[in-house]
Structures are given as C-alpha cells and as structure tokens.
Amino acid sequence: MDNTLFGYLNYAVYGTAVLVILIGLYGTMVKKSLLKVVIGLSVSDSGLNLLIVAIGYYKGGTAPIFSPGFLENFKSVSKMVDPVPQALVLTAIVIGFGVTAVALALVIRLYRHHGTLNIDEIKNLKW
C-alpha cells in the first residue's frame, strides 16, 4: 500500500509541477496587465523548479549533505537523492530572478512611457 500510494504521490508531484507551469503560461498569454504577465512568467518558473527537484528525488532519499562520519556509511550515501538537479535549480532560480527583475524594470519603463499597464494598448511596434 505504501508503495503504490507513494508512486501516485510521485506522479502527483510531476503533475502539480506541470500544472503550475501551465498556469504560468496561461497567465503570460491571456492576462492583459503587464504585471500579471510578469507574475505568470514567475509562476511558470516556479513550476519548472519544482519539476527539476522532483526529478532528482526518489523514494526514501535523504538530503545530499555530507556530514562527519557520513562517508563511512556507504548505505547512507547511496540513499542520498541526486544532488545535480538541486544544483541546477539553484542556478535556474537565480536566472529566473534576474529575468523577473529585468521584466519589472521594463514594466516601469513602459508604464512611464505609455501611462498604462494594459498590454493591448502598448502596440506601437507591429508588422
């Protein structure tokens, strides 16, 4: 029982992550306010990060942290979850942060220039 439940749970994590990504993309594509669009980008980033961490995780794994006396116990080393995705997520979070910052700065510029945050009204460049 434990096993199956955990299996479903595992998929549930993937499912949630994908759902969050899709919610973010939805916000990016549909919402008219620039701020909401930026939030949408952020949300899909978070979903992505969740997904990456979930990929590295496996059932009953422990945190990939070395502590004194840890290395002697080979079993506990093999029980660690994959550390690489977590490293990747750290990078991805930093990059996502940077992009969000740039996007927000641009939103401020756009607001000053156009006096509105409605994306439909900011269409000087077309065709």
Partner 1 sequence: MVGTPVLFIAIPLLAAFLIPLLGMIWKELVRIVPGLVLTYLLILAVNLLVHVLAHGPVVEVIAGWVPPIGINLVFSVFSGFLVTLMIFLGLLVWAYSYRFKRNVDYEPALKYFLMLMMLITGSVGIVLTGDIFNMFVFIEITSISGYGLTAFYKGRDSAEASFKYVLLGSVASTFLLLAIMIIYSQLGTLNMADIANKIHLMNPTLKIVSYIFFVTALGIEAEIFPLNGWAPDAYAEAPGPVGAAFAGIVVKASVYAIIRYTFTIFDLSGAFNFLIIIGMITLIVAETAAIRQEKLKRMLAYSSIGQMGLVLVAFGFGTEEGVFAALFLMLNHAIIKSLLFFSGSYLVYNSKCKYIKEVNGMSKFLPVTSLLFALGAFAIVGLPPFAGFWSKLSVMTAAADSNMILIMVLVLMVSVVELVYYLRVVNRIYFFKKETAIEPKKPTFNALVVMIVLGVIILAIGFYPDVVTGVLHKASASLMDKSQYIHHVLSLRQ
Partner 2 sequence: MEMIHIIFLIFLGGAVLTYFSGKISKVLQDIFFLASVLVPAYLFFAYVGAGREATLSLGGITLIWGVNHFSWLFSLIVLGLGSMAAIYAIGYMKGKKRKGYFYFNFILSIMAMMGILLSIDLISFFIFWEIMTWSSYLVTIYNGHDIQRIGIKYFVFSAIGAYAMLMAIVIVHHLTGSFLMSSMINFYPNMSLSMQIWIPVMFLLAFGVKAAMMPLHVWAPDAYSNAPMAYTSIFSGALSKMGIYGMVIVLVTMINQIPQGFWFREVIAWLGGITAAIGTLWAIKQDDAKKLLAYSSVAQLGYIITGIAIGTELGMLAGLFLAVMHALFKGTLFMVTGAIEKQTGTTNFNEVTGLIRKMPWTFIAALLSIIALAGIPPLGGFVGKWMLYESLITSNHYLLVIVIFFSSTAAFLYCYKFLFGFFLGQEEKEWAHVKEAPAVMVVPMLIMAVMMFVLGTFPGIILKPINSGLMDLGFVDSFKHLWESSVILNVWGNHVVLQPILYWIIGIFVFFMIFLTWKGFKTTRYVSTKDISSSGEVPADDENLTFSVGFMQPFMRAVAPAMRRQIDKYYNGIADGLESLFEFIRRIYTGNGQTYTIYVIVFVVIVLLFKNILF
Task: Confirm or reject binding of residue 39 to partner 1 (CB under 8 A).
Answer: no
38-97 residues in contact with partner 2 (CB under 8 A) are none
Q: Which long-range contacts (CB under 8 A, 24 or more apart) does 117-126 make?
A: 117/33, 117/34, 117/35, 118/32, 118/33, 118/34, 119/32, 119/33, 119/34, 119/37, 120/32, 122/34
**Contact track, partner 1, 40-69, x by CB under 8 A:** -x--xx--x--xx--x--------------
The distance of closest approach from Cβ of residue 50 to partner 1 in the complex, given in angstroms and rounded to an integer, is 11
Asked if 20 is part of the footprint of partner 1 (rule: CB under 8 A), the reply reads: no
Query: Which option in partner 1, partner 2, none does residue 30 bind, with CB closer than 5 to 8 A by kind?
Result: partner 2
> Using the rule CB under 8 A, which residue among 25, 39, 93, 117 binds partner 1?
25
Residues 24 and 47: beta-carbon distance below 8 Å: yes
Please name the residue that has the structure tokens 């496996």. 58
Q: Which of 25, 80, 88, 92 binds partner 2 (CB under 8 A)?
A: 25
Other beta carbons within 10 angstroms of residue 52's beta carbon come to 19
Contact (Cβ atoms closer than 8 angstroms) between residue 47 and residue 17: yes
The contact set with partner 2 (CB under 8 A) reads 25, 28-30, 37, 119-120, 123-127
